[in-house]
C-alpha cells in the first residue's frame, strides 16, 4: 500500500470504486433525463424479404418464439403480430434484462414474391438504442427462419 505526502494510504481499489460511482451516476442521469426519450424517438425498422406473405407471417411467429418472446395478439388478415418479453443486453455491470414490447406489420408488396416487414419495439428505460438492437435481432432471426424454407 502506498502513502501520499500526508501519510494517508492510496488504495487503488478506492479509486476504482469512485470511478464506478461516477459512471453509474452519469448513466442514471442520462436514462432519467426528461428530453432523452423524445430526442431518441423510436424509428420504424423495415426490411423486404423475397418470400410470400404466408411464409413471412409464419416465419415471424417462429422467430419471435425462438427468441423467447411471447405473442399477445396476431391477425393474419391485417398482417399484425404484437407481443412482449424481456430484452437482455450486456451492460458495464453485466447482463441485464428489461421489459420490452413489439409490433410487427407484414404486407405483401407484389407477386415476385416480396413481403415487407416493419418492426416497432420499445425497451423500458433503455430507450431507442436498445430498441434498435432488438429490431435487428428480430430481423436476423427472421432471416434465419426464412432460410430454412427453401
Are 79 and 93 contained in the same domain?
A: yes
Same-domain check for residues 113 and 57: yes
Pure H helices in 1-150: 12-32, 36-39, 53-66, 128-147
Tell me: do 137 and 77 sit in the same domain.
yes
Model confidence pLDDT, tens digit, residues 103-121:
999 999 988 899 999 999 9
The model's pTM is 0.69
> 108 and 42, same structural domain?
yes
Residue 70 belongs to what domain range?
Answer: 38-147
- Give residues with Cβ within 8 angstroms of 101, minimum separation 6: 82, 83, 84, 121, 122
Domain identity same for 50 and 90: yes
Domain count for the chain, please give it: 2
Burial 109-145 (b: 16+ CB within 10 A, else e): eeeeebbbbebbbbbeebbbebbbebbeebbebbeeb
pLDDT band at 1 (very low <50, low <70, confident <90, very high): low
Determine the pLDDT at residue 3: 63
Q: What is the pLDDT of residues 37-67, one digit of tens each?
A: 433 445 679 999 999 999 999 999 999 999 9
Residue 34, pLDDT above cutoff 50 = no
User: 49 and 108 share a domain?
Assistant: yes
118 and 139 in a single domain? The answer is yes
Whether 28 and 44 share a structural domain: no
Task: Say if residue 62 is in the same domain as residue 99.
Answer: yes
| Collapsed DSSP state (helix, strand, coil) of residue 24 | helix
One domain, residues 132 and 64 = yes
Same domain, 27 and 54: no
Amino acid at each position: 500500500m502506498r502513502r501520499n505526502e500526508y501519510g494517508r494510504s492510496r488504495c487503488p481499489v478506492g479509486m476504482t470504486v469512485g470511478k464506478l460511482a461516477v459512471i453509474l451516476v452519469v448513466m442514471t442521469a442520462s436514462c432519467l433525463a426528461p428530453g432523452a426519450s423524445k430526442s431518441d424517438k423510436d424509428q420504424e425498422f423495415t426490411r423486404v424479404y423475397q418470400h410470400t406473405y404466408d411464409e413471412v407471417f409464419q416465419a415471424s411467429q417462429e422467430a419471435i418464439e425462438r427468441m423467447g418472446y411471447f405473442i399477445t395478439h396476431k391477425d393474419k388478415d391485417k398482417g399484425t403480430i404484437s407481443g412482449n418479453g424481456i430484452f437482455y443486453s450486456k451492460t458495464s455491470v453485466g447482463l441485464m434484462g428489461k421489459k420490452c414490447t413489439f409490433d410487427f406489420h407484414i404486407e405483401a408488396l407484389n407477386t415476385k414474391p416480396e413481403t415487407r416487414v416493419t418492426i416497432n419495439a420499445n425497451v423500458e428505460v433503455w430507450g431507442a438504442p436498445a430498441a434498435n438492437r432488438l429490431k435487428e435481432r428480430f430481423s436476423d432471426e427472421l432471416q434465419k427462419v426464412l432460410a430454412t424454407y427453401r
